Copies of this chain bind each other. A is one copy, B any other.
Amino acid sequence: MGRRLFKELERSYGFDEVAIVPGQVTINPELTSTKMTIGDLDFEIPIMASAMDGAVSPGFASYMHEMGGLGVLNAEGLYSRYEDPYSVLEEIISHPQETVTEFLQKVYSEPIREELIGQRVREIKNTGATCAVSFTPQNTKRMSPAAVEAGADMVVVQSTVTTARHMSNSYRGLVFSELIDALKVPVIVGNCVTYEVALELMETGIDGLLVGVGPGAACTTREVVGVGVPQVTATLQCAAAREDYFRRTGRYVSVITDGGFRTGGDICKAMVSGADGVMLGTPFAQANEAPGQGFNWGMANPHPELPRGTRISVGTKGSLKEILYGPTSKTDGTQNFVGALRVMMGMCGAYTIRDLHKAEMVIAPSIKTEGKFFQMSR
C-alpha cells in the first residue's frame, strides 16, 4: 500500500486540535499591549467584526470603534440594497428555518443601490468611527471609489476564495495593484489559505490579508464543495508568507485570521499561529447590540444556485463590552476576549503581538478527552 499514490497529503490543523505552550518567562497581563496596525491605521485591539449582515450594521461599526476594534460593513448586503434594512432584518429573523435559505436568496436578489453605500459610510463616519467597507472582487472597481469618496477609511475585498489572478469571461479580473493605486486607503484582501497565494497577494501592495476558507459556523463550503483548510494551518502558512515578504521588502502586511472562532482560546491560538488580528462573525452576532438579534447567516448563504451556509440561531450572550472586555462570570471562554488574550500573553511572556508570534503550540487532543468524567451539576 502507499508505494504509489497519485499525490501526497499533509496533515492540517484546526483550533480544537492545538494548545498553546506556556513560555519560559511569564509577565503580568497589565504589561501587555494588544495593538494592531493595518496600513496607516492603528487599533487598540486586534479584533475585527466580519462583514456579515447579522453582525455589523452602521451602528455596530460605531460600537466596535468605541471598543478599540473595527467593524466592517458589507457594502453589498442589506444595508445597501434596502432603504430600510431593519425591517428586512426583522423578516429574516422571524422567518421559519425550513425555508429561510429560499427567503434569503430572494431578499439578496434585490439590486445593490450604490447611493446607499455612500449613505451608510457617512452614517458611520458621523459617529466619529473608523469606517471599513467590504466588496466582492466583481464589484470593487466600480463601487469602492464612491465609498472612499464618502469617507471610508479602509476597503476590504472579499470572496470565499480570492487569488491575485482570477479568470473570467464576463468581467476583467480585478487588478489589485491598480485598485490600491486608485483608492489611497488601506486595502485588505481575502480570503486565502496558502503560502503561495498569500505571497502573490502581498506583492500586489495590499495592506492586510484575510485568512480562512470554510471554517465559520455559518458556512458549509467544506460540505458543499469540499474546499477548506483548517485555520491553524492556514494561518501558519500565510504568516510564513508575511515573514518572507517582510524580510525581502521591509513592508509588513497584516495577517487577519477570519472565521471559525468560538472562544477566547481560539483567538489566542490564531495569534500564536502568526495572526496580527482576527475577524469574528458569530461571536459578535451574539452581542446584545448586533443587528441579527441572536441570528447570523453567511454571505455565501444567499447564493442563488449553490447556497453554502445557513441562518443559525446564535443567541445573545451579553453586551459587546462584556464580550470584549468582561468582567465576566462565564467560564466557557465566550466573554472577555481581550482579557483572555492578555492573560495568555502573560503566560507566554509576550509584551506585544509580535512577541507572541514566537510562542509555541502543540498538537493536542480535543479538550473533551481529558476531564470529561464528571457531569456539570444542574
On chain A, the number of residues with a Cβ less than 8 Å from chain B's Cβ atoms is 142
* B99 and A365 contact, CB distance less than 8 A: no
Query: Is B357 in contact with A6, judged by CB distance below 8 angstroms?
Result: yes
A264 and B31 within 8 A (CB): no
A38-61 interface with B by 8 A CB criterion: none
Interface string of A20-40 (1 = CB under 8 A from B): 111111111011000000000
CB distance from A323 to the nearest CB of B (A): 13
Closest to A243 in B: B6
* Complexed CA–CA distance, A167 and B346 (Å): 9
In the complex, chain A residues 120-166 whose Cβ is within 8 Å of any chain B Cβ: 160-163, 165-166
Collect the chain B residues with CB atoms within 8 Å of residue A263's CB: 223-224, 226, 373
A374 touching B22 by the CB < 8 A rule?
no
Please measure, in the bound complex, the distance between the C-alpha atom of A167 and the C-alpha atom of B196, giving whole angstroms: 39
Q: Which residue of chain B has its CB nearest to the CB of A375?
A: B313
- Say whether A363 faces chain B, with CB atoms less than 8 Å apart: yes
Interface centre among A10, A226, A327 (most CB of B within 10 A): A226
Q: Mark A98-133, 1 if CB is under 8 A from B, else 0.
A: 010110010000000000000000000000000000
Q: How many copies of the chain does the oligomer comprise?
A: 4
A273 to B12, CA, bound (A): 17
Chain B's nearest CB lies how many Å from the CB of A351?
A: 9
Q: Which residues of B contact A287 (CB under 8 A)?
A: none
Q: Are B265 and A222 in contact (CB under 8 A)?
A: yes
| A binding-site residues for B, Cβ under 8 Å | 1-7, 9-28, 30-31, 97, 99, 101-102, 105, 160-163, 165-170, 192-197, 200, 213-220, 222-233, 235-237, 239-241, 243-244, 260, 262-269, 272-274, 282, 295, 301, 304-315, 326-333, 336, 339-341, 343-344, 347-349, 357, 360-367, 369-378
Please name 28 pairs of A and B residues whose Cβ atoms are closer than 8 Å in the assembled complex, sorted by A: A5-B233, A6-B243, A7-B274, A10-B362, A12-B365, A19-B226, A19-B229, A20-B225, A20-B227, A21-B193, A21-B227, A22-B213, A22-B227, A27-B167, A215-B370, A217-B373, A218-B371, A223-B333, A223-B367, A224-B340, A227-B265, A230-B364, A230-B365, A230-B370, A233-B362, A262-B373, A305-B326, A305-B336
